[in-house]
Structure 1
């Protein structure tokens, strides 16, 4: 922890909070996997979906930018992209300004999946904030931001 960071509240039951966080992470993963297996995107893995989501709706990215975003090695990213191109979710496009550069974009099917996954995230977020006062919601947003920053710092190491 940095010296400028505030210490965590002393009245928190960290054991219970930690177990809740572990359960949330596992349950989100299981729900995502279950939804994929039952739906029209059953040929995809959760990692495939997150890769498609990282490409984003209208932004084109290079394979190296995408690998960095999803924390995969360049060779693993190439394999993942090849699979997604073959399945019809991603397409490679040459840059108009530099023909040597290949950008990745979503196909129509990829955009459909992107929207479905974004809707799933929105449902989770709305469920999480249901029943909160505005002040409590701000505290939860702060907690989520703290966790995000902590994880990003760990990824930089």
Structure 2
């Protein structure tokens, strides 16, 4: 890694903090102004982890989000009550429950996915293939660091 000046470090650090803050604020404001007022940003991320076509077990979703099974169960219970998620028993093992999105959950998933597509498009606007490769590399480094740090 090249040696960063204090100014470069501060610019990058501030940009990362501001981007995260803006994304969270925009997601919260968008929810409050939409037909999905009854969900939180945390709920959206759970819906995203379940995904459109997945039939993930509760255990798989809990592991993906780094949640305890109890915490996941509480959050899923609320989304089931609100009509976004349904529990489907496994055909081969009745002890296992898969999580699926309802039509309302799929609609919310698609709306949230469209927002993220806009973010990525605006972020990469005007960049060439090499620049996109550098961005991908930097983000993979960051993701690896954050994944390691959260264990």
TM-score range normalised by the length of the shorter chain: over 0.9
> Which TM-score applies when normalising by structure 1?
0.90
The partner residue of 1:104 within 99, 106, 110 is 99
Q: Does 1:50 align with 2:49?
A: no
Structure 1 position 118, deviation (Å): 1.0
- Runs (4 or more) in structure 1 with deviation over 6 Å come to none
Partner of 1:139: 134
Structure 1 position 15, deviation (Å): 1.5
Pairing 1:46-85 to 2, within 5 Å after superposition: 46-85=41-80
Partner of 2:2: 9
Unmatched 5+ residue regions in structure 2?
none
> Which TM-score applies when normalising by structure 2?
0.93
Corresponding residue pairs, total: 149
Structure 1 position 11, deviation (Å): 4.3
Q: What is the alpha-carbon root mean square deviation over aligned residues?
A: 1.2
Higher mean alpha-carbon deviation, 30-39 vs 71-80, is at 71-80
Aligned equivalents of 2:28, 2:131: Cα separation in 1: 31
Partner of 1:26: 21
Unmatched 5+ residue regions in structure 1?
1-7
Aligned equivalents of 2:62, 2:105: Cα separation in 1: 18
